[in-house]
């Protein structure tokens, strides 16, 4: 039971990478608060796992305060936060509206900032904890047509390092996870149609796209005491995509 005694709040936990992390956490003994805006799916998964569910729009400051208070009141002080919620938006730079840019930044970047800030008091009372911020390989290098998404994921990478430096004195570790092509609904929804991303897998060293469990296993490691001396670091889960460059 690698997370025995841990109290975890996971955002974007109703499906995809967040749901995979929630399953792994519950299986390893954590008390888990699933949060999302997809209430029906979130409640169903929480019931299946013996966990709890709370509606949370991560871009809403007041909603964060309510979610943290609910988690503390239900389980006790939070010792693990997984900032997983995020959205994707494809458009050329010249065609990206301010509204679309701000929507992505509001959820991906501001949501991560608000989440980290919201749990500091609770984690400090608990004597420490682990914050896992889900960035992307687009937080390590740019990709055409993803200006807002890339900006938000680079910001998460940077905020992670600042938070690690500030919060280490309280026993709070902060790390970022950088998934590559993972088989979740996000890409298809961003494009407005179902899409087969399996051909992308042929471009990476391991010759396959990733699965949500591939990311969840790394998140589990960072949430556990096995990563007790890891903070301010970047953990890449991309099948080898960032092992090369454009001239290879």
Active site amino acids = 149
Residue 245's CB is within 10 A of a number of other CB atoms, namely 7
In eight-state DSSP terms, residue 168 is G
| CA angle (212 as vertex; 210, 39 as ends), nearest 5 | 145
Residue 107 DSSP class? I
Residue where the block lists tokens 């709040």: 9
The angle subtended at Cα 70 by Cα 122 and Cα 45, nearest 5°, is 115
> What's the DSSP call for residue 97?
-
Helical spans, DSSP H, in 75-185: 98-104, 111-126, 147-167
Characterize the bridge pairing of strands 234-237 and 31-36. unpaired
Kindly report the backbone phi and psi dihedral angles of residue 55, in degrees, each rounded to the nearest multiple of 5, phi listed first: -65, 135
- Contact status, residue 28 vs residue 4, Cβ threshold 8 Å: yes
Give 175's contacts (C-beta < 8 A, 6+ positions apart).
130, 131, 132, 133, 160, 164, 222, 227, 230, 231, 232, 233, 234, 235
């Amino acid at each position: 039971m690698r997370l025995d005694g841990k109290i975890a709040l996971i955002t974007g936990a109703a499906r995809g990478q967040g749901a995979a992390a929630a399953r792994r956490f519950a299986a390893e003994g954590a008390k888990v608060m699933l949060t999302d805006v997809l209430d029906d799916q979130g409640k169903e998964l929480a019931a299946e796992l013996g966990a709890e569910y709370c509606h949370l729009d991560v871009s809403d400051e007041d909603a964060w305060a309510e979610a943290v208070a609910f988690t503390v009141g239900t389980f006790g002080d939070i010792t693990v936060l997984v900032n997983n919620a995020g959205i994707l938006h494809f458009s050329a730079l010249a065609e990206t509206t301010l509204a679309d840019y701000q929507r992505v930044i509001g959820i991906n970047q501001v949501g991560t900032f608000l989440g980290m800030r919201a749990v500091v008091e609770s984690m400090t009372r608990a004597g420490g904890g682990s914050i896992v911020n889900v960035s992307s390989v687009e937080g390590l290098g740019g990709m055409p047509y993803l200006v807002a998404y890339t900006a938000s994921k680079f910001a998460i990478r940077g905020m992670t390092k600042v938070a690690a430096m500030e919060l280490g004195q309280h026993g709070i570790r902060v790390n970022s996870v950088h998934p590559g092509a993972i088989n979740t609904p996000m890409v298809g929804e961003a494009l407005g149609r179902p899409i087969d991303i399996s051909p992308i897998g042929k471009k990476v060293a391991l010759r396959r796209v990733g699965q949500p469990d591939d990311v969840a296993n790394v998140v589990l490691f960072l949430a556990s005491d096995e990563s007790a001396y890891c903070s301010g670091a970047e953990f890449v889960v991309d099948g080898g995509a960032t092992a090369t460059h454009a001239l290879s």
